Structure 1
Amino acid sequence: MKRTVSAALAALSCLVILSGCGTMKTSWRDTKKLYRSYINTDPTIDFSEQGISDKGLQRLASLLMPVDERLMGLLRVIGSQDTPPESDWAQQLLSSHDWLSGVAVIDTSGAVVSQAPTASLRPLDFSGLLEFADRYKTRKMGAQVKTDEFGTVVMVAAPYFKENEWAGLVVAFFDPRNLVRFSPEPDALVVLSTDGLVWPGGSGQGEALAGLKWAEMLKGGVQGEVASGGGQYVWQARYLGQLEMVYLTDVREARAKKPEPPKAAPVPTPEPSPADVSPTAAPNP
């Protein structure tokens, strides 16, 4: 690098001294080009790189992110409440997460200590969540998906403690229809879990997809593709307590679209060359 710099500067000096007035302008341009090429090189940016290039994965990400972000936000809030919450805490949680159906505080026997709202149109049985007591004692969360004549409900449980001993659960529960509405196209999104179907979407393939051997498929990774009913589904999984939630969408149409031509990098405006200076004739003696 030092040799290149020295050579370039030497070339510049020689050009200044030896060039005639008529070639001064051309020589300056050549020298400036040499300077930019080897001494003060401009960094280049690849404007064609857009991160995920798979149109199918881009499609899935756009559908699931508004849903998943809200769900993960809920986990952070209830996961940080490790003492018995006050009633106003539950009301604040429902206000900030208006897609929730309710919040219940239960003890280790499953008895409801408090609940908001106090009256529920749907009878709920939280006893199934107590099966994960070993998780709660190590401050891990649990979850359950239940479907009955009233529809599907998702329950997420976080443990609370008294004198550092597990004393019960804070359970947030919701109808998945209230959560998937945040997706730009809820009918294009399928949500299932290792407990069963959560949201069937509008393709009519929800039940068939939920019936696949997900316990085996999820051993191989958290992302993949699967064919069902003539569709090609890309899926992404994440943990919800001990459950794995899986988001899927049919990507045939997204991948069939022709990609838009990449935007060209802006062309830099050339700097104006210095004015051509004519030498001043020496006065006659």
Structure 2
Amino acid sequence: MWDTTAEYTKETWHTTRDFVDPPPVIDTDSYQFTNPNQEKLAKLISPVDGPLTQLIRFVDDTDTLPGIDWLDLLMARFPWVDRVLVTDEQGTIIFMQPQLPLKRINKPLVFEGVWREISLLTVVDYSDLGPEMYIGRPYFDDVRFGGLIGVGFDPRSLMRLSPDPKALIVIDPGRNVWSLGADVDKKALLAVDWKDLLKDEVHGQIQVGNRYYTWLTRYVGRDQYIYATESVDPNAEGSWWPF
């Protein structure tokens, strides 16, 4: 008698619970793109842009002189970060980890901005060993400007997180194109008037020679970079991007 009652109670509980607090159901159809070009680009950049966004937030949340615990947590969470440096208010490096990095700074890093108005800026240093992107932000001693925190990484290391790294292209407008073996005309991509294009657009498709590329802009602080990939179907229409 107890077994029957218990089984009935258990069944009734599950039925009632599903009615009051239904189990979550993910509607995968609502995430489908109508444009195969954007779908391809989204799949390529999702594993890349997620960690980048997390790093931006991590650095942006720091407005005082960081300590060793902050550094340890940074390196543990973002193993693709190559270097961390801290300057004084004059721009002199007072701390750098590692002290002897594999890639030396090729040119002085110049972060130009009014630090009361700007929290994040980027500088890309181009050396013989490849690009190194630095995300920089100010830190303060009470209300006084203390100096800058810089976090550097090779953007190609981040691109390796993509499911198909060779298909992904990242453009530093007016300066360089980053890829991991993509068959791309870098000079032609840089010749695109990105400055004018980005005034009104945040995504789209461009033709370079006989190829078409689907692209999406990405802000890091106030600076813009561009994710791109060769289009699957240049004639495809429709958009899923939420903007």
TM-score in same-fold range (> 0.5): yes
Equivalent residue for 1:96, pick from 74, 77, 93: 77
Distance 2:62 2:168 in 1: 31
- Residue 91 of structure 2: which of 110, 118, 126 is its match? 110
Which of the two has higher C-alpha Rg? 1
SS at 2:204 equivalent: strand
TM alignment of 1:1-285, pairs within 5 A? 50-124=31-105, 127-132=108-113, 134=114, 136-194=115-173, 196-201=175-180, 202-252=182-232
Q: CA deviation at 1:182?
A: 0.3
CA distance in 1, matches of 2:116, 2:29: 50
Structure with bigger strand share is 2
Contact 1:161–1:167 (CA under 8 A) maintained in structure 2: yes
Provide the C-alpha distance between the structure 1 equivalents of 2:171 and 2:80, rounded to a whole number of angstroms: 18
Percent identity between matched residues is 29
Which sections of structure 1, spanning at least 5 residues, go unmatched? 1-45, 257-285
Kindly provide the amino acid, as one letter, of the partner of residue 164 in structure 1: V
Shift of 1:139: 4.6
Q: TM-score, normalised by structure 1?
A: 0.67
Report how far residue 171 of structure 1 moved: 0.5
Relative distance call for 1:48 and 1:102 in structure 2 (3 A) is: closer
- In structure 1, what is the Cα distance between the partners aligned to 2:217 and 2:137? 21
- Counterpart-to-counterpart distance in 2, 1:159 and 1:204: 37
Aligned residues: 209
Query: Which consecutive unaligned segments of at least 5 residues does structure 2 have?
Result: 1-26, 237-243
TM-align CA RMSD: 2.3
Question: Residues 111, 49 of structure 1: CA spacing in aligned structure 2 closer, same or farther, 3 A cutoff?
Answer: closer
| Residues in 1 aligned to 2:73 and 2:29: alpha-carbon distance in whole angstroms | 45
Q: TM-score, normalised by structure 2?
A: 0.78
Conservation of the 8 A alpha-carbon contact between 1:55 and 1:254: no
